[in-house]
Amino acid sequence: MTDNAAQGELATVRDYLRYAVSRFNAAGLFFGHGSDNAWDEAVYLTLHTLNLPLDRLEPFLDARLLAHERAALLDIYRRRCEDRLPAAYLTNEAWLGEHRFYVDERVIVPRSFIAELLHEQLTPWVEDPWAVGSVLDLCTGSGCLAILAALAFPQAQVAAVDLSKEAISVAERNVEEYGLGERIEIIQSDAFAKLQGCRYDLIISNPPYVNAESVAALPPEYLHEPVMALGSGKDGLDFTRIILREARRHLTPDGLLVVEIGHNRAELEAAYPTLPFTWLDTAAGDEFVFLLHAADLPA
């Protein structure tokens, strides 16, 4: 069925949701940027496009749509299927829990497990969130984790660091929208290069960690994201090695390092058999985020 035919036949929100799910499944879309199935993606794109509350579908299911609303829905469904753009790039927003962030193709779509750990203020590893005075978010991208860190630790000054000038622009926009400009400093730097002499109570990082084999097999949706934000050498650990080599000189004596590494736990432990990694529990399990104390890191 063409879009013109669909617009003539479909009338209600329920009709368009059914059509979207069928079209998404037929197109073989990959889901992994906020949803994991065609239904959830269709609901999100439909409610967002119609300017309806994202958490209230039922009251609107049988509402009949105006011509311009039908056209807008068909257009965003078409772009999702034909361009294979992640939903976040179509709507220019991504959500981590209840927090919304502006995103576009200059930054990776936020999806870090560290976000849920910050929501819990890194309990029990941080005993007093008010005592955290300084935080570094390395590879900040859109600035989402830096912002969540500022919200989790009310007394902290946060440094948000990224090499990409384009990502810095997006991070600046999000920091401004959250009104945190006085507490978050955004720095363009290649890893720790511009942080000489700086020490932090907490360093967090969601660095590039996709290995070369996986990069070569990425679905089309991921190819719209910045390449430098995904791949990190043959085993996916190139940037993590930099962090482990440099982090101690940038942590206070009792400081903590928290890093997300995707599916690379076995490779990391094999490469650093003497480091006492603590693997943190997340919604997806305890294989994706590690914690180290400053004293445990290489000098």
- Both 152 and 67 in one domain: the answer is no
- Both 65 and 194 in one domain: the answer is no
Q: pLDDT at position 176, please?
A: 98
Question: Does pLDDT of 137 surpass 60?
Answer: yes
The Cα–Cα gap between 70 and 292 comes to 52
- Both 7 and 119 in one domain: the answer is no
Question: Does pLDDT of 4 surpass 80?
Answer: no
Q: pLDDT at position 5, please?
A: 62
- Among residues of the chain, what percentage have pLDDT more than 70? 97
- Both 24 and 172 in one domain: the answer is no
Question: Does pLDDT of 158 surpass 90?
Answer: yes
- Both 52 and 133 in one domain: the answer is no
Q: pLDDT at position 33, please?
A: 87
Q: How many residues does the chain have?
A: 299
Q: pLDDT at position 248, please?
A: 97
Query: Binning pLDDT at 50, 70 and 90, where does residue 1 land?
Result: low
* pTM across the whole model: 0.93
The DSSP-derived string for 126-170 is: -S-GGG--EEEEES-TTSHHHHHHHHHSTT-EEEEEES-HHHHHH
- Both 286 and 214 in one domain: the answer is yes
Q: Among the three residues 91, 114, 145, which one is the final residue of a domain in this structure?
A: 91
The two tokens of residue 252 are 């206070």
Report pLDDT digits (tens) over 168-220.
Answer: 999 999 999 999 999 999 999 999 999 999 999 999 999 988 888 888 888 99
Question: Does pLDDT of 235 surpass 70?
Answer: yes
- Both 87 and 119 in one domain: the answer is no
- Within a domain: 100: no
Mean pLDDT of the region 17-46: 95
The Cα–Cα gap between 21 and 25 comes to 6
Report pLDDT digits (tens) over 87-123.
Answer: 999 999 999 999 999 999 999 999 899 999 999 999 9
Structural domain boundaries enclosing 158? 106-296
- Within a domain: 59: yes
Q: Among the three residues 91, 124, 141, which one is the final residue of a domain in this structure?
A: 91
- Both 163 and 235 in one domain: the answer is yes
The Cα–Cα gap between 254 and 21 comes to 51
Compute the mean pLDDT over every residue in the chain, rounded to the nearest whole number. Answer: 94
- Both 85 and 110 in one domain: the answer is no
Q: pLDDT at position 54, please?
A: 94
- Among residues of the chain, what percentage have pLDDT more than 90? 83
- Both 52 and 153 in one domain: the answer is no
Q: Among the three residues 91, 124, 148, which one is the final residue of a domain in this structure?
A: 91
Mean pLDDT of the region 38-63: 96
Mean pLDDT of the region 36-47: 97
- Both 80 and 112 in one domain: the answer is no
The Cα–Cα gap between 158 and 161 comes to 10
- Within a domain: 101: no
Q: Per the structure, how many domains does the chain have? A: 2
